[in-house]
């Protein structure tokens, strides 16, 4: 019984310390905080690879494999950029994009896909959407970082 009590005590101290530490920190200005990226891809390995590359380059990343769960989180969290796979079960990337735009009209959204033919197939639909970018998988890490930085530094949420 004492082992359980000790574990609870340590967890309680850690939680109190974390809350105290966060409460006493000054609010960070936009340029001071890490940019947060939401990746939504049903292929776990691809999502993890993108997440690893982005985190290694200083970004905060949240990865979702289920669009329905992601939408619930997106309603309550702020993201600087969304990287969304087009073809997924339950909802496709376009449906998710429309939901995100209802939540935040200024959101920056980039579609990602492994199939170049989808870019051609969805060309008309893509031209009518205010997307920030389009990435073909696979993508080299350096190119991914370059493209993400370009989208994040843009004042607009659309590619012209």
- 41-88 per-position pLDDT tens digit: 999 999 999 999 999 999 999 999 999 999 999 999 999 999 999 989
* Residue 10 lies inside a defined structural domain of this protein: no
The tokens of 81 are what? 């950029």
Name the band, by pLDDT with cuts 50, 70 and 90, for residue 124: low
DSSP annotation of 104 = -
Q: Per the domain annotation, does 23 fall within a domain?
A: no
- Is residue 160 situated within a structural domain? no
How distant, in Å, are the alpha carbons of 7, 14, 71 from that of 10? 5, 6, 34
* Domain boundaries, position 64: 30-153
Does 59 reside within a domain? yes
128 falls within a domain: yes
Task: Please state the domain count of the chain.
Answer: 1
Beta bridge partners of 114: none
* Domain CATH code at residue 139: 3.40.50.2300
Q: Report if residue 98 sits inside a domain.
A: yes
């Amino acid at each position: 019984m004492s082992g359980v009590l000790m574990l609870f005590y340590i967890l309680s101290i850690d939680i109190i310390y974390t809350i105290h530490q966060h409460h006493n920190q000054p609010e960070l200005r936009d340029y001071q905080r890490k940019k947060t990226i939401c990746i939504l891809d049903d292929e776990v390995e691809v999502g993890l690879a993108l997440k690893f590359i982005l985190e290694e380059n200083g970004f905060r990343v949240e990865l979702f494999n289920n669009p329905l769960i992601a939408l619930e989180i997106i309603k309550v969290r702020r993201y600087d950029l969304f990287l969304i796979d087009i073809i997924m079960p339950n909802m496709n990337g376009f449906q998710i994009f429309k939901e995100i735009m209802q939540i935040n009209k200024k959101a920056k959204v980039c579609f990602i896909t492994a199939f170049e033919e989808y870019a051609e197939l969805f060309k008309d639909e893509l031209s009518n959407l205010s997307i920030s970018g389009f990435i073909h998988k696979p993508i080299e890490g350096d190119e991914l970082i370059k493209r993400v930085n370009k989208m994040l530094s843009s004042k607009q949420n659309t590619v012209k």
